[in-house]
A and B are shown apart, each in its own frame.
Chain A
């Protein structure tokens, strides 16, 4: 029973929150927030995701650079963003000496959760790809109680 033993993305992120003095975490795909464990309102988290994506796009705009991570320090709080393909993990943490450890953990997390992220994106891909490549995920049968349902 793979579904019974595979932890969800949120549960995995909540475990990651114990990796050092982490105040908040956000997993995103492109500019879409997948899981947010941030101590901020949703609109601020969305703005934060846009800011980090804008920064990456800015530095990579000439085509010759590949940004792996950005780390920014503020009074008492640090913001770390680790990119991996279309996904990114943003962490707010307190101690500067823990940034390299948290960045390493974030990279491992992003590598190890690719299937979970793909599953989380499944319904959206089904709509956009009209069942071409994203249709490998199991789908519930569409049963309309007001019609005669024919199973082909």
Chain B
């Protein structure tokens, strides 16, 4: 069975030195950056509330859209590198997480 990265809707993003790297255009990169910053902000707030520390990864689900980001284990407050994915479907957390981890090797 192929990994879900063969889906034409799946868009993978990488953040290197604070810049979003995308193969699908500026609009997608802007959308990814906005969702990444927003979701990471609220995930870190949840972590601070429960004294769990900073987030490692997080996902957001809509009826026809899923977003996920994955940070390296040693990431600091200022993210230098990260990866993420957006897909126009409501896919499972496990599937997207496995895909991102495969992307990161």
Q: Using a CB–CB distance below 8 Å, which chain A residues touch chain B?
A: 40, 44, 47-48, 51-52, 54-55, 58-59, 65-75, 77, 79, 92, 96-97, 99-100, 103
Q: Which of A72, A75, A100, A103 contacts B46 (CB 8 A)?
A: A72
Q: Which of A47, A58, A65, A71 contacts B93 (CB 8 A)?
A: A71
Q: How far is the CA of A116 from the CA of B47 in the complex (A)?
A: 31
Whether the pair B52, A75 counts as a contact (CB closer than 8 A) is: yes
Whether the pair B42, A55 counts as a contact (CB closer than 8 A) is: yes
Chain B CB within 10 Å, residue with most, of A58, A74, A92? A74
CB-CB under 8 A from B47, the residues of chain A are 72, 74
For the side of the interface on B, what is the size category?
A: 20 to 34
Nearest chain A CB to B103 CB, angstrom units: 17
Q: Using a CB–CB distance below 8 Å, which chain B residues touch chain A?
A: 35, 38-39, 42-43, 45-47, 49-50, 52-63, 65, 90, 92-94, 97
Nearest chain B CB to A55 CB, angstrom units: 4
Q: Which of A58, A69, A79 contacts B61 (CB 8 A)?
A: A69
Whether the pair A54, B42 counts as a contact (CB closer than 8 A) is: yes
